[in-house]
Amino acid sequence: MSAAVAEAFKRLQDQGLIYRDGYKVNGSPTLCTAVSDLEVEFSEENEKLYYFRYPLSNGSGFIPVATTRPETILGDTTVCVHPVDERYSQYVGETVLFLGTERDIPVIADEYVDRECVIDAPKITPCHDHNDHELGKKHNLPKINILTKDANLNSNRGNLAGLDRFEARGKLWDSMATEALVDSREDCCCVFDRIRERDNC
């Protein structure tokens, strides 16, 4: 069956009917494989929302950002603001200092940002969120994968490499706190994708 699938896809590609491209897929840390959208169910769960600051590279201030998964900060490639948000639109074209490194990431504007949402300036992580992936394609953002197949931090993550994502989350948050870059944590209700009846993804 596998050979037949490979043959079918190869023929379709040779005929110009399909093409190969990067795409965000669901991954199972337990199964260590990609998982079809049909295998995923979404559920509302209680979680923490973490508020932190991205300092502007020119030293003039910072942009407040929030996330439920601080470890994905390591895969951020931009901060996005709404084009007519008078609080942050003046920062479009500036850069913010990527946490713990010398790498700067740009501030961009896009109507993708929901001005009614609690997260005023979302951080964009194209490899680890479906919506961020689409925005990344639109703005030609780099894609940085931070995880191995079993959801540990990969070898490019410095002293966090090899840590489970939840352990890395705590260590990264503590590190940011020592640099006075964190604001607060609060309870929130988020929608998560879980693999149906088999796995905690």
Q: What is the pLDDT of residue 101?
A: 62
The answer to whether 153 and 163 have CB atoms below 8 angstroms apart is yes
Q: What is the pLDDT of residue 33?
A: 83
Per-residue tens of pLDDT for the chain, all 201 residues? 999 999 999 999 999 999 887 777 888 888 888 888 888 877 777 788 888 989 999 888 889 888 888 888 888 999 999 888 888 888 999 999 876 666 789 999 998 887 776 566 889 999 888 889 999 999 999 988 888 888 899 887 778 889 999 999 999 888 888 888 888 888 776 656 565 545 444
Q: What is the pLDDT of residue 16?
A: 95
**pTM for this model (two decimals):** 0.78
Q: What is the pLDDT of residue 188?
A: 74
- φ/ψ of residue 23, rounded to 5: -150, 145
Torsional sign, CA 177, 183, 187, 193? negative
Structural domains for the chain = 2-195 (3.90.740.10)
Q: What is the pLDDT of residue 199?
A: 46
Determine the 3-state secondary structure of 194 from DSSP: strand
Please give the single-letter amino acid code of residue 4.
Answer: A
